[in-house]
Amino acid sequence: MKLTSIKKKLSVFTIINSCFLILAALLCIIPLIHILAVSFSSSSVAAAGKVVFWPVEFSLNSYVYVAKRAAFWHSMLVSVERIAIGGAINLVLTILCAYPLSKERSEFRFRTFYAWAFFITMLFSGGLIPWYTVIRQAGLLDSIWALVLPGAVPVFSVILLLNFFREIPKELSEAAFIDGAGHWITLWKLYVPVSTPALATITLFSLVGHWNSWFDGLILMNKAENYPLQSYIQTIVVQRSYSMLSRQEISELATVSDRTLRSSQIFLGSLPIILVYPFLQKYFVKGIVLGGVKG
């Protein structure tokens, strides 16, 4: 009787949990479906608000207009450069910081001190003005380095990876040291290859963080042509500022609706992450769980 009761309770919980997760997934995907439908609709029906989840009077005018926008593609190249450089820097520095912090105090005497030094930066920051002043004094304004160096060491990723490293059996590293390997070889030949889930997870965090960041581009770039894609979209879509457009581009706006144009640019800005995520998703949950089991 007790076993039957437990099975019934688990069944009810599974049904309720599944319904909740389906609802949460729909709440996430419905806005994207709506934006996609608007972007493929004609200007008149989109402006009239007649588009819901399916294109009405199918049209590619907004995408044709965006395809001609040199500023849009230039800003996308800036974002690609940012995630290529910034993602590589984040990954390498995260690995180099996490490895020594994953050691016991007997192996690394000041481990606790450095761990707290990193952790406290997650709770307190120097503030926006000092942050901007340091970057300006370093001469990084209007360069790609202003977008990647200030966040070169993502502390959350360091904590995630060091906890994953601590789960690796000590016998493996001890065997490597007996065979004559030093810390450098042990790190890159042993720890990194077995940490694929955690590395994929922090890589995903880094890519999404760099790609979606827009505020730093607005305040660190004095020239609009140096904007990353999300800063460009924020200027055009949210602020609706057309100062970046030429006279010819402004005249061509008559052929498209402002709503379809904004929808097409939002969708194109989201598309790279949508395409990359499925390849890293299988590592995501495993990396989060195994990297968060210890403090």
Instruction: CATH number of the domain at 79, please.
Output: 1.10.3720.10
Q: Residue 6 pLDDT more than 60?
A: no
Q: Please give the model's pTM, rounded to 2 decimal places.
A: 0.77
Q: List phi, psi (to 5°) of 105.
A: -65, -30
Based on the domain organization, do 177 and 231 belong to the same domain? Answer: yes
Q: Residue 232 pLDDT more than 90?
A: no
Q: How far is CA 289 from CA 58, 93, 176, 197, in A?
A: 44, 22, 27, 10
Q: Which residues of 237-254 are buried (b: 16+ CB within 10 A; e: fewer)?
A: beeeeeebeeeeeeebee
Task: Place 9 in a pLDDT band, splitting at 50, 70 and 90.
Answer: low
Q: How far is CA 113 from CA 94, 95, 99, 185, in A?
A: 17, 18, 15, 25
Task: Place 148 in a pLDDT band, splitting at 50, 70 and 90.
Answer: very high
HSE-CB at 31 with a 13 A cutoff on CA atoms is 6
In a domain, 71, yes or no: yes
Percentage of residues of the chain with pLDDT beyond 90: 13
Based on the domain organization, do 137 and 165 belong to the same domain? Answer: yes
For the ranges 22-26, 30-34, 144-148, 274-278, the lowest mean pLDDT is seen at 274-278
Question: How many residues belong to the chain?
Answer: 295
Based on the domain organization, do 264 and 139 belong to the same domain? Answer: yes
Q: Residue 145 pLDDT more than 90?
A: yes
In a domain, 52, yes or no: no
Q: Looking at residue 226, what DSSP letter applies?
A: G
- Full domain range(s) for residue 29: 2-47
Based on the domain organization, do 108 and 192 belong to the same domain? Answer: yes
pLDDT in tens, 177-213: 888 888 898 888 888 888 888 888 888 888 888 988 8
Look at the chain and report how many structural domains it folds into. 2
In a domain, 53, yes or no: no
- Among 152, 173, 185, smallest CA distance to 102 is for 173
In a domain, 57, yes or no: no
Based on the domain organization, do 161 and 36 belong to the same domain? Answer: no
Based on the domain organization, do 75 and 38 belong to the same domain? Answer: no
pLDDT in tens, 255-274: 566 677 778 888 888 888 77
**pLDDT value, residue 265:** 81
For the ranges 43-57, 92-106, 246-260, the lowest mean pLDDT is seen at 246-260
Based on the domain organization, do 16 and 72 belong to the same domain? Answer: no
In a domain, 76, yes or no: yes
Based on the domain organization, do 146 and 275 belong to the same domain? Answer: yes
In a domain, 55, yes or no: no
Based on the domain organization, do 212 and 249 belong to the same domain? Answer: yes
In a domain, 186, yes or no: yes
Based on the domain organization, do 209 and 245 belong to the same domain? Answer: yes
In a domain, 280, yes or no: yes
Q: Where are the alpha helices (DSSP H) in the chain?
A: 2-39, 43-47, 61-67, 70-101, 111-123, 128-137, 145-148, 155-166, 170-178, 183-186, 196-212, 215-220, 229-233, 247-252, 258-291
Which of 135 and 270 is assigned the larger pLDDT? 135
Q: Give ∠ CA 264-267-269 in degrees, rounded to 5.
A: 110
Q: Which residues of 164-173 are buried (b: 16+ CB within 10 A; e: fewer)?
A: bbbeeeeeeb
Based on the domain organization, do 197 and 267 belong to the same domain? Answer: yes
Based on the domain organization, do 140 and 207 belong to the same domain? Answer: yes
**pLDDT value, residue 149:** 92
